[in-house]
Structure 1
Amino acid sequence: MLENLHIKNVALIEECQVAFGSGLNILTGETGAGKSMLIDSLQFALGGRMGKDFLRKDQKKALVEALFSVKDRGFSTKLEESGIEPEEDGTVLITRTLNDGGKSVCRINGSIVTVTMLRELATDLIDIYGQHEHQSLLSPSKHIRLLDRFCGGRFDEVKEAYTKSFEKRKEIDKQLEELMGNEAQREQRLDILNFQKDEIENASLSVEEEDELIEKKKRLMHMERLIRLTLESASLLYDGTDDVPSACDNLSSAVSNIKECSSLDSTLEGYYNDLEDIYARLEDISREVKRYAQNLEDDPDELERVEERLQIIYKMKRKYGGSVEAVLRFYDEIVKEIDFFSNSQERVEKLTALREKEQHVLETAAEELTALREEAASRVAKQIEESLKDMEMKNAKFYIQVTPRDEWNNMGKDKVEFLISANAGEDLKPLAKIASGGEMSRVMLALKAVLVDADEIETFIFDEIDTGVSGRTAAKVGQKMSVIGEKRQILCITHLPQIAAMADKHFLIEKETIGHQTITSVKGLNEDDAVAEVARLMGSATITSATLTAARELRAGKKTLQK
């Protein structure tokens, strides 16, 4: 249930806070006062899109906060699955801001969420009916989803089994199509796969080889310099010349000198031992460098072989994946696909048998879905007819037609369409053929009245559902809303006194000019003020004692209905 709505800097609303109640909450006011702005603000808080004029003029940021109390434990589970900590008392605080740059920030219980997440979660909180829902009701493609909400029982279980089976059969059909498709195309595909397999196998790739070859190529390309520098280093370290002794010779002399000194001063013994170790290590390194230099050999043919090998690796990478690892993964996929085609006959037999088995499962689930829908269609159609009669459509006939589809889809084998005969003697026809906006409004309200026992959503919002109705019909519509309000919270914008008189809680939306600014405010009415507002809606130029009496009589009808 929507407990509280806080709006700041939205269009004509500077700031307001509305505490809604259970049952039927009525919103009234003069035309243009900003009644729909409350609903627009709530839709914005729940993830709706708003235009640039949504933000109040000359303000930097708009804010809408909606506080809900939610009884459905399943909703708490959804919050947890979305990474949002639910409150122990079931309250849910949704906050959304919009800055003057057009950027919005959404939060649920203080956690930032995306608009998409917000919209998905909001569908379980509020069901909003406005003029655009007419289009939804007129579209037969939406009817099957509406009917499914009435099925109850084990419908969800059967639907899930059907969906899994449908997807499984679709995958089997795809594999069979690949195996049993055009023979020439299959053979052509096999030729390509075998060529690719042989080419990759002949390349004999390994993950480490490329780096090793790159290093080897660098060495071979600079062989002449390597030979010259290492021989020169060997001479400097080990061989020396007649004129210039080697590093080893010089260090050997130094070691002898320090050894003699250490016999004269024992403090030098440590240096002597260190130098002796250094000399031994230098001598080892010098020999190794000399051996390395002597083993070097300039080999242009080897360089050419390395480059050719690298070109093969680069070619494989270009054709099959961008890296050696990717090429090897591609090879594994090729092998699997070749195996798939090579054993096609055996696979076709297995898949055909599997398809027959899955088709039986699918048909069984589809038949059960149809039976559940037909049962619900009959039951719901009668309930909707009764609801329409309650709203002065006494001769209306409502029929939910369930017929087989030409092609099955993930919803089943059924096509569902709502048909209506609004007047005696008329044939049943699609809802789109209804000319009267008042009739359409009553059909939607009748659906909601029936849906109230099948839906977990606690709050319904009706934005000017009174379109095209008046007089006795309006009174019946108001009574129907009041009855729904006994089980669900309703927010309703109306211009009709017959509907407004049914309010459990009545709010007046007013617009006034303060200085150079126009401001919309929302005020909760007490009983006397509510009667006065109903009297105003009755259309008298001035409110007299007679109109007030008539308004009280309308309000008394609410109390009589409650009894």
Structure 2
Amino acid sequence: MLQELSIKNFAIIDQLSLSFENGLTVLTGETGAGKSIIIDAIQLLTGGRGSSEYVRHGEDRAEIEGLFLVDDGHPCMERAREFGIDIEEGMVILRRDISKAGKSVCRINGKLVTISVLREIGSTLIDIHSQHETQELLNETFHLPLLDHYGRVEIEAALDDYREVYKKYETVSGRLKRMNENDQQLAQRLDLIQFQHGEIQRADLKLREDEELADEKRKLMNFERLFESLNTSYEALQGEQHGLDWIGLVMGQLETAAEADPALAPLLETVQNCFYTLEDTARTIRSQLDMLEFDPERLNQIEARMNEINQLKRKYGSSIEEILEYGAKIEEEIESILNRDHHVEQLQKELQTVKRDLYLEAKQLSDLRKKWAEKLTKNIHSELKQLYMDKTTFEVRFLSTADDYFEADEIPFRRDGLDQVEFYISTNPGEPLKPLAKTASGGELSRIMLALKTIFSKHQGITSIIFDEVDTGVSGRVAQAIAEKIYRISVHSQVLCITHLPQVAAMADVHLFIMKETVKGRTRTKVKPLGQEEKIKEIGRMISGVEMTDLTRQHAKELLELAETIK
């Protein structure tokens, strides 16, 4: 659940801290008071699209932070682990800052994350249902994902299997398509890659050659300094009356001393070890000096070779390894083009095998979708009956399935399978079923979407659900049915609801009143939790408008009493 929400410098909100409870929390207030602004802030907190327009005028940045409490096994736990985010004691803290330049900084439990990660984690915590989402029901492209979401326990696994084979299908069909390009294009392609392959072959590249050349070049360019340093080092050790001579003198004197006093033997041994080590070092330095040879021509050769390698890097890869990999790849392509007929035949056989496998996966996916479509239809009818749409007939209609392409020569495989689904509805007895987008009114759409949310919330695992004015276009007994439906959803999930319906407000476990006030010439939003008497007054305002009469007060009180009875 969402336990704490902090908003600072966001739109007309200067600073706001809210605590939320389980159950149903209702937000009411006059239009423009800032109810939807609070929901906008939560939407941004869970990865919604932000902009500098959200930053309060005159401020540098907007800050939004929310504390969520989750149980062990919650879907966000696994996703958080994938991104290296620690969750302790079931607490998830999301934070998002938006600067006046429009840049966002996102954090989860203090760790910096991208907006996409914030969105992925946030989607498991909050489900925001707005009027816009209701309008998505009018777009049939959303109907198949809704069905898949409903039956995801089985459908997601089948869809993953299908997509894995589909990826292979795309790869093989793409290769075959390239092989079947016209002769002129293939001839041009063959000329190009043969030239490239020859250029790489002639270069006779060796792994790490560029690093070795750079090292040799550095030595040649610093030859004088290197020779002088080594020569001076050698002379300091080996020259007459220099290092080794003096250490040899010390060694001789310590030998005499150790004969007189055996306790000095360790000192002698230390000096002897140093002498022999330095003697070996001097020989090594001498050897290095003997090998030093300044060859201006070699430097020119290195420059030319490095230039050749850099030219190849600009064309074929950022490293010698990548160049050689590209060379191997085009060598395979050359062989494929030169033996085109054989490869086409092989690819055609492989494609036929993949198509058969893909069709079987599509068939299994279609069968599962049909099975879950029947369950969804039954559930929708049950929910709509409770929303006074008991005369409504709802159908998940399959415009195409895998069965339609049995033994077809050409099958239009798509990423989501072969099924095309659209919701059909008839709201009046005797009327034929028609596409939902062409039939349902605004109030009917609200109830259908609410029915879907009720069904999904029971097995979705979302921490909190937000309804943003989803009760538009309804009144009377339908409004009461919607109020009861939203309350039932809150039994399974925390629900925050912005509403203008007194029936919904009466069902609230917590009622928050949103208002605007002017302080020092600036408008700001304020939130006030309402007690029982204040609830009666606010619900009365929602019933009658501005004027509060005794009858309105009595009606408001009766609504609250009815709500308690229903609960």
Q: Deviations over 1:428-473 (max 9, x none)?
A: 2223224632222112111111212231213211111121111121
CA contact (8 A) 1:373 1:402 kept: no
Matched ranges for 1:315-334 at <5 A: 327-334=323-330
Matched ranges for 1:104-123 at <5 A: 104-123=104-123
Structure 1 residue ranges without an equivalent (≥5):
220-250, 256-265, 267-276
Between the aligned partners of 2:497 and 2:154, the Cα distance in structure 1 is: 34
CA contact (8 A) 1:438 1:469 kept: yes
Instruction: Tell me whether 1:536 sits opposite 2:541 in the alignment.
Output: yes
SS in 2 for 1:335: helix
The residue number in structure 2 matching 1:150 is 150
State TM-score, norm by structure 1: 0.78
Deviation at residue 210 of structure 1 after TM alignment: 12
CA contact (8 A) 1:395 1:423 kept: yes
The code of the aligned residue for 1:78 comes to R
Q: Deviations over 1:399-427 (max 9, x none)?
A: 11123277221111111111222333433
The residue number in structure 1 matching 2:134 is 134
The residue number in structure 2 matching 1:477 is 482
Instruction: Tell me whether 1:43 sits opposite 2:43 in the alignment.
Output: yes
Between the aligned partners of 1:212 and 1:16, the Cα distance in structure 2 is: 64
Instruction: Tell me whether 1:398 sits opposite 2:398 in the alignment.
Output: no
Instruction: Tell me whether 1:561 sits opposite 2:566 in the alignment.
Output: yes
The residue number in structure 2 matching 1:247 is none
Between the aligned partners of 1:366 and 1:31, the Cα distance in structure 2 is: 49
CA contact (8 A) 1:197 1:331 kept: yes
State TM-score, norm by structure 2: 0.77
Deviation at residue 106 of structure 1 after TM alignment: 1.9
Matched ranges for 1:3-402 at <5 A: 3-71=3-71, 72-88=73-89, 90-202=90-202, 204=204, 208=209, 327-402=323-398
Closer/same/farther in 2, CA of residues 202 and 81 from structure 1, 3 Å limit: closer
Between the aligned partners of 2:167 and 2:137, the Cα distance in structure 1 is: 29
Between the aligned partners of 1:39 and 1:91, the Cα distance in structure 2 is: 21
SS in 1 for 2:65: strand
Between the aligned partners of 1:7 and 1:314, the Cα distance in structure 2 is: 54
Closer/same/farther in 2, CA of residues 531 and 315 from structure 1, 3 Å limit: closer
Closer/same/farther in 2, CA of residues 96 and 323 from structure 1, 3 Å limit: closer
Between the aligned partners of 2:309 and 2:100, the Cα distance in structure 1 is: 56
The residue number in structure 2 matching 1:458 is 463
The residue number in structure 2 matching 1:488 is 493
The residue number in structure 2 matching 1:516 is 521
CA contact (8 A) 1:197 1:334 kept: yes
The residue number in structure 2 matching 1:497 is 502
Closer/same/farther in 2, CA of residues 325 and 448 from structure 1, 3 Å limit: closer
Q: Deviations over 1:231-281 (max 9, x none)?
A: xxxxxxxxxxxxxxxxxxxx99x99xxxxxxxxxx9xxxxxxxxxx9xxx9
The code of the aligned residue for 2:128 comes to I
SS in 2 for 1:83: coil
Closer/same/farther in 2, CA of residues 413 and 30 from structure 1, 3 Å limit: same
Deviation at residue 177 of structure 1 after TM alignment: 2.4
Closer/same/farther in 2, CA of residues 549 and 312 from structure 1, 3 Å limit: closer
Instruction: Tell me whether 1:436 sits opposite 2:438 in the alignment.
Output: no
Q: Deviations over 1:355-404 (max 9, x none)?
A: 33332322222111111111211221232233223222232221111232
CA contact (8 A) 1:152 1:454 kept: no
Between the aligned partners of 1:347 and 1:531, the Cα distance in structure 2 is: 80
The code of the aligned residue for 2:74 comes to R
Between the aligned partners of 1:10 and 1:40, the Cα distance in structure 2 is: 10
Deviation at residue 51 of structure 1 after TM alignment: 4.7
CA contact (8 A) 1:28 1:508 kept: yes
The code of the aligned residue for 1:436 comes to S
Deviation at residue 27 of structure 1 after TM alignment: 0.7
The residue number in structure 2 matching 1:224 is none
CA contact (8 A) 2:213 2:302 kept: no
CA contact (8 A) 2:544 2:552 kept: no
Q: Deviations over 1:176-233 (max 9, x none)?
A: 22334434543553444444444544555557599879999xx9xxxxxxxxxxxxxx
The code of the aligned residue for 2:77 comes to S
Deviation at residue 528 of structure 1 after TM alignment: 2.9
CA contact (8 A) 1:434 1:440 kept: no
SS in 1 for 2:16: strand
Closer/same/farther in 2, CA of residues 187 and 532 from structure 1, 3 Å limit: same
Number of residue-to-residue matches in the alignment: 506
Closer/same/farther in 2, CA of residues 188 and 542 from structure 1, 3 Å limit: closer
Percent of aligned pairs with the same residue? 39
Deviates more, 1:553-562 or 1:206-215: 206-215
Closer/same/farther in 2, CA of residues 52 and 330 from structure 1, 3 Å limit: closer
Between the aligned partners of 1:141 and 1:105, the Cα distance in structure 2 is: 33
The code of the aligned residue for 1:66 comes to G
Closer/same/farther in 2, CA of residues 310 and 509 from structure 1, 3 Å limit: closer
CA contact (8 A) 1:388 1:442 kept: yes
The residue number in structure 1 matching 2:261 is none
Deviates more, 1:490-499 or 1:517-526: 517-526
SS in 2 for 1:154: helix
CA contact (8 A) 2:125 2:462 kept: yes
CA contact (8 A) 2:74 2:461 kept: no
Between the aligned partners of 2:482 and 2:308, the Cα distance in structure 1 is: 81
Between the aligned partners of 1:108 and 1:322, the Cα distance in structure 2 is: 36
Deviation at residue 547 of structure 1 after TM alignment: 2.4
The code of the aligned residue for 2:119 comes to R
Between the aligned partners of 2:387 and 2:138, the Cα distance in structure 1 is: 20
Match of 1:445 among 435, 441, 450: 450
CA contact (8 A) 1:540 1:547 kept: no
Deviation at residue 63 of structure 1 after TM alignment: 2.2
Give the RMSD, CA atoms, in angstroms. 4.1
SS in 1 for 2:508: coil
Closer/same/farther in 2, CA of residues 516 and 363 from structure 1, 3 Å limit: same
Deviation at residue 527 of structure 1 after TM alignment: 2.7
SS in 1 for 2:391: coil
SS in 1 for 2:459: coil
CA contact (8 A) 1:210 1:313 kept: no
SS in 2 for 1:474: helix
Structure 2 residue ranges without an equivalent (≥5):
221-238, 243-252, 254-278, 402-410
Between the aligned partners of 1:19 and 1:312, the Cα distance in structure 2 is: 67
Greater Rg, structure 1 or structure 2? 1
Deviation at residue 549 of structure 1 after TM alignment: 2.5
